[in-house]
């Protein structure tokens, strides 16, 4: 990455589910403006001359211009009969930003893998925040963490109402701990051994130029690929679901911290006690109607029924798929990180002020 003046710098962006766009970018002698752009890739574009118009539209743009503005320049250069297949104006902008060193690609990073055992639900919520803090402080690199639950839990989104989501009688009957995460999204019911949960903690540069919605699919594209290798016809369903023709497999949630660090976490159903879930969660009729089903139990089809494989085998397949694509180093929680997480449990995640912030 980087954009030396007078020389072309190279950047690439792979559209999730689409094509590769490569950009070679040259800056003017002062390094302030884009002087020229050369585009290439395995995309489809008609007519041929549209490629020159797209590249020409970027000449003269400030070297620091954000992806959204660069994409707007591209769209303004397109004519009504231009046809772009497998890519769009934002993909071009992302490739240009990477060439200039403002955005990074997966291959620019070495990820730290943490396979964490069962822990208290409050502590797992705190550890997500701790790893984001560690990346921001430069004490850790980007992190992929697979983790487990030590007890039954309902995890509600940062902006959800406790009383609207949780049935207190059902939660007490099934010994459920209710925790609130830092990210938005909906409530989840989990039991030990019945989920595969992972968190990605990445720098802002990896999702530079992407909207929240676009970044969900981008950060989970590797997961969809791993599921397909397992024989599941997985697709990403906006905004934040991974599904197959048999039903929903997983839900994602994301938090972007003030320093730009991104926390993206996903819970996949390995197995599910649907009857227990409906006793614990208050799943409203409006939400079920919006999903096109009359039963909460029918919305989810877990990995165990779709693959017939043990949980540990599926988890190993996920890690192997990620490592096949990107650099990965094994790691583990440090004592300092665990101490910080325990402190966050006491001061935030287990406090009534946090748990009942929206009663």
Residues 86 and 124 in one domain: no
CATH code of the domain covering residue 155: 3.30.930.10
* pLDDT tens-place string over residues 28-58: 999 999 999 999 999 999 999 999 999 999 9
Give the pLDDT score at 5.
Answer: 59
Q: Is residue 227 part of a domain?
A: yes
Domain count, the chain: 2
Give the pLDDT score at 42.
Answer: 97
Whether pLDDT at 176 is above 90: yes
Residues 129 and 90 in one domain: no
Residues 83 and 154 in one domain: no
What does the pLDDT average to over 286-298? 43
Residues 134 and 80 in one domain: no
* pLDDT tens-place string over residues 134-157: 999 999 999 999 999 999 999 999
Give the pLDDT score at 284.
Answer: 47
Average pLDDT in the chain: 92
Q: Is residue 211 part of a domain?
A: yes
pTM of the model: 0.88
Residues 86 and 113 in one domain: no
Q: Is residue 3 part of a domain?
A: no
Whether pLDDT at 296 is above 50: no
Q: Is residue 1 part of a domain?
A: no
* pLDDT tens-place string over residues 89-99: 999 999 999 99
Whether pLDDT at 3 is above 60: no
The confidence band for 301, taking pLDDT boundaries of 50, 70 and 90, is: confident
Give the pLDDT score at 16.
Answer: 86
Give the pLDDT score at 307.
Answer: 93
Residues 180 and 293 in one domain: yes
Burial label, 137 (beta-carbon count in 10 A; 0-12, 13-18, 19+): exposed
Last residue of a domain, one of 40, 72, 99: 99
Residues 259 and 138 in one domain: yes
* pLDDT tens-place string over residues 15-32: 988 999 999 999 999 999
What range defines the domain where residue 55 resides?
A: 8-99
Give the pLDDT score at 104.
Answer: 94
The confidence band for 178, taking pLDDT boundaries of 50, 70 and 90, is: very high
Last residue of a domain, one of 78, 99, 120: 99
Q: Is residue 139 part of a domain?
A: yes
Cis peptide before 47 (omega within 30 of 0): yes
* pLDDT tens-place string over residues 101-144: 999 999 999 999 999 999 999 999 999 999 999 999 999 999 99
């Amino acid at each position: 990455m980087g954009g030396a003046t007078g020389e072309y710098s190279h950047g690439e962006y792979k559209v999730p589910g689409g094509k590769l766009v490569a950009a070679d970018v040259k800056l003017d002698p002062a390094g302030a403006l884009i002087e020229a752009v050369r585009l290439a890739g395995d995309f489809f574009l008609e007519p041929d001359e549209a490629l020159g118009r797209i590249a020409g539209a970027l000449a003269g743009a400030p070297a620091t211009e954000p992806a959204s503005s660069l994409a707007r320049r591209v769209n303004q250069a397109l004519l009504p009969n231009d046809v772009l297949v497998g890519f769009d104006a934002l993909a071009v902008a992302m490739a240009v930003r990477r060439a200039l060193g403002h955005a990074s690609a997966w291959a620019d990073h070495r990820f730290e893998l943490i396979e964490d055992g069962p822990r208290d639900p409050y502590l797992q919520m705190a550890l997500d925040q701790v790893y984001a803090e560690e990346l921001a402080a430069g004490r850790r690199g980007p992190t992929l963490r697979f983790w487990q639950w030590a007890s039954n839990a309902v995890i509600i989104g940062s902006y959800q109402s406790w009383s609207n989501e949780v049935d207190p009688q059902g939660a007490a009957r099934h010994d459920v701990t209710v925790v609130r995460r830092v990210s938005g999204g909906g409530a989840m019911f989990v039991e030990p051994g019945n989920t595969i949960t992972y968190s990605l903690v990445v720098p802002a540069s990896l999702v530079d130029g992407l909207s929240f919605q676009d970044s969900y699919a981008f950060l989970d594209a590797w997961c969809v690929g791993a599921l397909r290798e397992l024989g599941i016809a997985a697709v990403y369903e906006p905004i934040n679901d991974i599904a197959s023709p048999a039903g929903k497999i997983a839900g994602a949630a994301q938090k972007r911290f003030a320093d730009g660090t991104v926390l993206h976490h996903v819970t996949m159903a390995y197995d599910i006690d649907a009857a227990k879930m409906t006793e614990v969660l208050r799943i409203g009729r409006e939400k079920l109607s919006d999903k096109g089903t009359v039963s909460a139990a029918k919305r989810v089809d877990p990995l165990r029924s779709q693959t017939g494989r043990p949980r540990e085998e599926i988890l190993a397949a996920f890690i192997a798929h990620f490592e096949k694509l990107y650099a990965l180093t094994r790691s583990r929680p440090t004592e300092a990180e665990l101490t910080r997480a325990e402190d966050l449990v006491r001061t935030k995640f287990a406090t009534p002020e946090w748990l009942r912030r929206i009663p």
